[in-house]
Structure 1
Amino acid sequence: MNWKSYVSFSLLFGLSFGSFAQSTVLKSHHSPSGFQNPNPSFQKKGFWNVLVWQWDRFFLPYSLDAKSYPDFPVVKNDGKELKSNASKLSVTWVGHATTLVQIDGINVLTDPIWSERCSPLSFVGPKRYTPPGIAIRDLPKIDVIILSHNHYDHTDLPTLKQLEEKFHPLVLTGLGNKKLLLNEGMQNVKEMDWWEEWKLGSLQFTFTPTQHFSGRGIFDRDETLWGSFVISGKQETVYFAGDTGYYSHFKEIASRFPNIDVAILPIGATEPRWLMKPVHVDPKEAVRSFSDLKAKFLVPMHYMTFVLSDEPLDSPVPRTKEAMKESGISESALVPLKIGESRFF
């Protein structure tokens, strides 16, 4: 593994030095040093696991170079229809975990990243291979930004600075992230614990559990809280998962929010499973999560933008369709947006 791979992967995923360490079972997700997953079988992965993974990548039977694949579909979105939408529920996929959710006339961005790399360094780290589906200058006024956790591909400071300068939005995020954001110029930041609520106009934002972890460097593992969001409007409800492994939290969310219309769920960054399974659902688990949530529509994300893992780059959507077929779920419930595409519900 060369030094560029070391920097990009160790810092991007916040993997700490050390071997496997099973999390301590506590009644709360708070811990003396920060936070933890409620799943008693959750296992952290250490630096040695990253080395093994990088070695294994040399022997993959296929290429992870985006140039080896046909062009992925990108829809040019000039933002005009979005700017004129004052009432309809819509979801626009910008790329990776970045979506624009319009609900009750309020514009919400999820985990925004417009940068060329998701990395602490501008010249090294996973590079974007599909452009953002809409330019920042063409966005409607952004009222709220929700940040699921502080990994570089979900909390991108250069993008947040641009959005702050143009829109001055409210930023909702997990406990422990406010200091970083204020230091980078964000003006209106609200930290939230799991199941905490925040209201804006007709909307209620609820920060909900996920199975994941946090960290922007080697020594800050799990010091800030990760999570997902339920956005409840007058008539419709949207769930944004961020990053997550599969666990019982999906059923718990559904028990508290029984009428979810749209679930925005990750289907990429899934292989190898021995490394990714604790923190990233694969397509089959995403469909299982969708079933647990009892949502009406599944909008997939977290693929086709950055190469973060080992599955073939064009595999997530076909695998999701197959999983839905196996589960007896109508394919009409799947809304695999092209990057830049908007769907009005």
Structure 2
Amino acid sequence: MRWWIIVVLAVAVLVTACSAMNSPGRFADRNPYLEPKDTNAIDFFKMRWFGDEVWADQQAELAEQPDLVPQQAVDLTLLQSPTTTPQITWLGHATFLLQHNGVNVLTDPILTDRASPFRFAGPERLQPAPLEVAELPPIDLVIISHNHYDHLDTATITALGPDVTYLVPLGLTEWFTDLGIPTENVHAFDWWQAQQFDSVTATATPSQHWSARSLWDKNDSLWVSWHLTIDDWQVWFAGDTGYNEVQFKEIGSKFPDIDDALVPIGAYLPRWFMQPQHINPAEAVLMHNDIGAARSYAMHWGTYQLAAEGLAQTKRDLSDARQTYQASEDTLRLLAIGETVTVTP
């Protein structure tokens, strides 16, 4: 076997795309609305490289993809001196900067070239990161949804440093303290657990996913979505998740006045493999409706090639979903990477 095949197999095991769900692990029973499915990283490797599905990065379409996701220069002045109303900046994938009344929150920060444990292999950014960590305003809180490499990036967390407060799912505290982050700056949450941080109330809410960073830690840490109240502004961050008809309606019932939701729309094909853990655009619209958000913004797409669909197909599927469910223009708005929008609570 050539060395590059070994690397690809290792990446398939270690990065985000797909491994077994409901496999042994501390939190293996935390997907109550999902039938156990006996798939693993080897199945993903076979499907990815030897299956019938043709991935977008094997097509000419990939050469056109950067144009399908606009990227604009970040307004660094606006980030350092935000307006008096809440503002949201998309930095690619599931990374947003949320700012309101002097509070700066980052979601699942990854500003590196690859979503991978390796610098030389694994999913690579389709476009460069829109800024560096040093260009961010002082960050107060970082919220982490789970430990996959496209959501928990060692280099970015290291650059953010030990003085930030990190809100993480159960089972991840040691990962942060091993990087030299003080225990008192890492707060681990179970589903529905809430905690106050000055003007921010953070609640870990359910999601349907799984966790692993190696062959030996499947489902040893939890996966969550997040509800944040920052003064008078309510934001819900979906993290990475499959869809079910129960949990997201429960979130919407508990938090009936969500202003803005950050919802994934990418990495959903082939459905026979991806559906348990990644929603497609149609399910993203359903999720928007379930939680009852006034507005929502698309994420988890356009940054790394993590599944079979291309960006043009994602946009087509989102357009079809909006039409099918008669969704408004404020449903899953597509931002440019680097774009900042101001919102009204």
Structure 1-normalised TM-score?
A: 0.90
- Local SS of the residue matching 2:113: coil
Q: Which amino acid is 2:180 matched to? A: G
- Local SS of the residue matching 1:108: strand
* Matching of residue 47 in structure 1 with residue 38 in structure 2: no
- Local SS of the residue matching 2:12: helix
* Matching of residue 119 in structure 1 with residue 116 in structure 2: yes
- Local SS of the residue matching 2:308: coil
Deviations 1:14-46 (A, max 9, x none): 866xxx78679xxxxxx7566521225243522
5+ long unaligned stretches in structure 2: none
Distance 1:332 1:254, change over 3 A: closer
Q: Which residue number corresponds to residue 171 of structure 2?
A: 176
Q: Which residue number corresponds to residue 11 of structure 2?
A: 8
Q: Distance in 1 between matches of 2:92 and 2:191?
A: 26
Q: Which residue number corresponds to residue 28 of structure 1?
A: none
- Local SS of the residue matching 2:307: coil
Percent identity, please.
Answer: 36
Q: Which residue number corresponds to residue 250 of structure 2?
A: 252
- Local SS of the residue matching 1:244: coil
Q: Which amino acid is 2:232 matched to? A: Q
Distance 1:178 1:32, change over 3 A: closer
Q: Distance in 1 between matches of 2:23 and 2:57?
A: 35
Deviation at 1:8, TM superposition (A): 1.1
Report how many aligned residue pairs link the two structures.
334
Distance 1:250 1:172, change over 3 A: same
Deviations 1:237-291 (A, max 9, x none): 1000110000121101001000011110000011111111000000000001001
Distance 1:106 1:123, change over 3 A: same
Q: Which residue number corresponds to residue 31 of structure 2?
A: 37
Q: Which residue number corresponds to residue 329 of structure 2?
A: 331
Q: Which residue number corresponds to residue 161 of structure 2?
A: 164
Distance 1:59 1:271, change over 3 A: closer
Q: Distance in 1 between matches of 2:193 and 2:105?
A: 18
Distance 1:125 1:82, change over 3 A: same
Distance 1:70 1:223, change over 3 A: closer
Q: Which amino acid is 2:316 matched to? A: P
Deviation at 1:320, TM superposition (A): 1.6
- 1:8-157 aligned at under 5 Å gives the runs 8-13=11-16, 36-56=30-50, 60=54, 63-64=57-58, 66-69=62-65, 71=67, 72-85=69-82, 87-157=84-154
Distance 1:282 1:149, change over 3 A: same
Distance 1:101 1:317, change over 3 A: farther
Q: Which residue number corresponds to residue 27 of structure 1?
A: none
Q: Which residue number corresponds to residue 228 of structure 1?
A: 225
Q: Is the 8 A contact 1:49 1:275 kept in 2?
A: no
Q: Is the 8 A contact 1:238 1:263 kept in 2?
A: yes
Q: Is the 8 A contact 1:269 1:280 kept in 2?
A: yes
Q: Distance in 1 between matches of 2:17 and 2:331?
A: 34
Q: Which residue number corresponds to residue 317 of structure 1?
A: 315
Q: Work out which of the residue numbers 246, 259, 262 in structure 2 matches 1:261.
A: 259
Q: Which residue number corresponds to residue 296 of structure 2?
A: 298
Q: Which amino acid is 2:63 matched to? A: K
Deviations 1:285-307 (A, max 9, x none): 00010010111111000111111
5+ long unaligned stretches in structure 1: 25-30
Deviation at 1:102, TM superposition (A): 1.1
Q: Is the 8 A contact 1:90 1:103 kept in 2?
A: yes
Structure 2-normalised TM-score?
A: 0.90
Distance 1:298 1:271, change over 3 A: same
Deviation at 1:79, TM superposition (A): 1.5
Q: Which range moves more in the overlay, 196-205 or 206-215?
A: 196-205
Q: Which range moves more in the overlay, 102-111 or 150-159?
A: 102-111
- Local SS of the residue matching 2:161: helix
Q: Is the 8 A contact 1:109 1:145 kept in 2?
A: yes
Q: Is the 8 A contact 2:296 2:330 kept in 1?
A: no
